[in-house]
Amino acid sequence: MKSRKLILLLTIFISLGLVLAACGGSSNEDKTSGGNDGKKTEESEGSTDYSIAMVTDEGGVDDKSFNQSSWEGLQAWGEEHGLSKGNGYDYAQSNDESDYLPNLTRLTRDGYNLIFGVGYLLEDAISKVAEQNPDTSFSIVDTVVEAPNVASITFAEHEGSFLAGVAAAKKTKTNKLGFVGGMDSDLINKFEVGFVAGAKSVDPDIEVDIQYVGDFSSADDAKLIATRMYGDDIDIIYHAAGAAGNGVFNQAKDMKKNAPDNEIWVIGVDRDQHEEGKIGEDNVTLTSMVKRVDLSVQEVSNLGLNGDFPGGEILEFALKDDGVYLADTNENAYTEEIASAVDEWKEKIINEEVDVPQTRKDLEEFEKSL
């Protein structure tokens, strides 16, 4: 399989002839966005007849995290080409994993040229439907599917999470940090391991409590985990739990509301979750480890539209090309001292002075060097 790295900050300029489009939408009541009853429209305001759809994982399109970022990227692509939801692009909502294959199959049948599967949980479904439909292009986000008609979008989550650990270590007053993951998997372990490595690189004596929700949708369970963590004197929690991570924010905001002087923080994930941390004039979001899922979706969409779909390739978005980064939106919390430390470690990673661990086994070896 080929592998290449894409630079996100470069603008893609694609010259296209104006073509009036017949673009499709999909529907299935609760399991799709409502499109146009699965029928292609005869007219479109857009400038291309290339159509794209995406299938969410169980977190939903408005999870304020991964799926939402993917959808924002697809919306940006549609706006770029004068298309509208249901006429050129659309999404199918998955309520649980049993919806993945039916949603993908339905969108394929509806004639979409490119279909995204959002999240590693769709790996098996994408593999199956791609094999059955070799003339349709597919892309999967956050994992690799080896097929000539599938483009695999991956990120250096461990690198961004390392910087999140550095920021947390510079901010904590209790020397106790928390990590709340969605599902205990190889992918989410990259967030966990990178975070621990970054924090301990600043202070090897820092304690990090690690807990997993078990899924990416149970916000109530994540809230209970956060309640216990904050109660145990942990003052910063980094979540990599999708929509479940909203429970961490909810608990932090509840505590901040009851005790405004309480120094507790959340580190968001996937997109800048500054808005999720607002509580009155305060904000509990220290920073967010942003993955440019939106731009990756937009970029792959444009490649497909331009006849250069990267089927069979792994597209890696890393720290050195701003594929991942830390948000500095909360200027009151994300101090110049933190920013300086993060920048210093960022340069070390980019210059390969630091080899950020990706697995728990790698972390054990990394900690021995501290």
| Residue-level pLDDT at 338 | 98
| Residue-level pLDDT at 46 | 54
Are residues 167 and 287 in contact, defined by beta-carbon separation less than 8 angstroms?
A: yes
pTM summary value: 0.82
Phi, psi of 269 (to 5 degrees): -145, 155
Mean pLDDT, to the nearest integer, of 76-88? 96
pLDDT digits 0-9 by tens, 280-323:
999 999 999 999 999 999 999 999 999 999 999 999 999 998 99
List, in order of start, the domains of the chain with CATH numbers: 2-155+292-321 (3.40.50.2300), 157-290+335-368 (3.40.50.2300)
Are residues 105 and 126 in contact, defined by beta-carbon separation less than 8 angstroms?
A: no
- Does the structure show a pLDDT above 60 at 34? no
Distance of alpha carbon 201 from alpha carbon 195, whole angstroms: 10
- Does the structure show a pLDDT above 90 at 9? no
- Does the structure show a pLDDT above 90 at 216? yes
Which residues neighbour 55 within 8 Å (Cβ) at sequence distance 6 or greater? 91, 92, 94, 100, 103, 104, 107, 115, 116, 117, 118, 122
Distance of alpha carbon 137 from alpha carbon 124, whole angstroms: 16
Q: Please report, as a single letter, which amino acid is at residue 174.
A: T
Share of the chain above pLDDT 90, in %: 84
| Residue-level pLDDT at 18 | 35
- Does the structure show a pLDDT above 80 at 328? yes
Mean pLDDT, to the nearest integer, of 62-71? 90
pLDDT level of residue 30 (50, 70, 90 thresholds): very low
Residue 150: strand pairing partners: 138
